[in-house]
Amino acid sequence: MQIKGAERGTNSCFKPTDSARARMVGQRAAILLKSAPDGKAYLLHLAARLTHRGVRPSMRGHLAKPLHYMQDIRATVASEFEQVNQLIIDQLRSDVPMVENVGHYIVDAGGKRLRPLLALLTAAALGECSTDHIKFAAVVEFIHTATLLHDDVVDISSLRRGRPTANAEFGNAPSVLVGDFLYTRAFQLMVQLANMAILENMADTTNTIAEGEVLQLVRAGQTATTEAQYLDVITRKTAILFAAGCRGAAVLSGAEPALCDAMHRFGLNLGIAFQIVDDVLDYEGDPATMGKNVGDDLTEGKLTLPLIHAMRVGSPAEQALIRDAIAARSTAGIKDILAAVQRCGAIGYSREQARHYHDLALAELERLGDSPARTALRRITHLSINRDH
């Protein structure tokens, strides 16, 4: 559940800001109680999340500013954003309880809902959000959520957004199969759009994401990975869905092909910048803020941009340190690695590259007319590289 605001310095509960969110919680509770004990356990977890006492003290200051900042951005398409959230809940319904439990578990984990928000803001910047745009934004979020379920199984991840991953909570098999359910649900929604260009774009996008996953798997543990190879992987795995969401919204708005291409490039560059910063935070971020462990990429054998740069310019001893850690997929030497990454300027270099793609994304927005939605898109672009989680 996305919590829209909080009072600081009190023990009061976080409260939904509208009746729609209250209805969503009620629907989830009814579904989860069908399959105790899993549902009951998760309801206890959700209750803890919804009370101020259930939020770590270190998170209280963090929650206020970013949430209010995102609130301002979402306010541009507030009604449409709520409709997307409700549609996601509605489309998770299944007569198989495990499907609903796993689906709600990961959807309720929160997150920025950045990809559907980009689709809605693109639509608003090009005119208005239609019912088809609402469905399409849900499609984008379902595909993203399916990739998260599959990613966590492949990466053997145990923590995401500050709590156990779905595979840690329910097992690998349910996570994979519910991921498949979300993929197919996304395509069922796309059929309702009756737009072959959208269907073709999203089919190609999903295929590219799968290729990116395989490519990352093949290159895990390879310390010879180049910056170009790294960019290829994050373009396929992450940026392509940002691009598809923006292009798809433009297509549904009836935009000219050149403008659809521009929105694709906007999303692609934004997605690359976003992922580079994600990879920087793996070596610079605060675990309590990020909701995951520092150095997770090491345990997965991923040579991301900070390490690629450190391997390129670091001393022989630093290179050997990183090489051994990647080969062993271990965080045993994480303190020394963090120090090496800082010493050789890898964090600064990586942030410079993120800024480069941020600037490319902003340039594409100049093709849009001035509007609150375009301003919101600019603000999201800035936020993508100026964040702590």
Give per-residue pLDDT as tens, 120-137: 999 999 999 999 999 999
Confidence band of 327 (pLDDT split at 50, 70, 90): confident
For the residues 128-152, what does the mean pLDDT come to?
94
Q: Is residue 334 part of a domain?
A: yes
Q: Is the residue at 3 inside a domain?
A: no
In this prediction, residue 223 carries a pLDDT of 87
Structure tokens at 145: 């959520």
Q: Report if residue 4 sits inside a domain.
A: no
Domain contains 268? yes
In a domain, residue 9? The reply is no
Q: Is the residue at 297 inside a domain?
A: yes
pLDDT score of 389: 72
Q: What is the pLDDT of residues 167-178, one digit of tens each?
A: 888 888 888 998
pLDDT classification of 9: cutoffs 50, 70, 90: very low
Q: Report if residue 11 sits inside a domain.
A: no
Element containing residue 258 per DSSP (H, E): helix 257-284
Q: 10 Å Cβ neighbour count for 372?
A: 14
Output the six-digit token pair for 77.
Answer: 């398409």
User: Is the peptide bond preceding residue 37 cis, with omega within 30 degrees of 0?
Assistant: yes
Q: Which of 152-166, 248-262, 321-335 has the lowest mean pLDDT?
A: 152-166
Backbone angles phi, psi at 323, to 5 degrees: -60, -45
Segment 358-378 mean pLDDT: 97
Q: Of 96, 93, 117, nearest to 104 (Cα)? A: 93
**Is residue 8 in a domain?**
no
220: domain CATH number is 1.10.600.10
- The pLDDT assigned to 159 comes to 73
Sign of torsion over alpha carbons 25, 26, 32, 33:
positive
Question: Structure pTM?
Answer: 0.80
User: Are 321 and 333 contacting, i.e. CB atoms less than 8 angstroms apart?
Assistant: yes
The domain total for the chain is 1
CA distance 82 to 251: 22
User: What are the phi and psi torsion angles at 163 (to 5°)?
Assistant: -150, 170
Per-residue pLDDT at 29 exceeds 50? no
CA distance 345 to 279: 15
The whole-number pLDDT of residue 34 equals 40
- Mean pLDDT score, 63-90: 83
Domain housing 173? 19-385
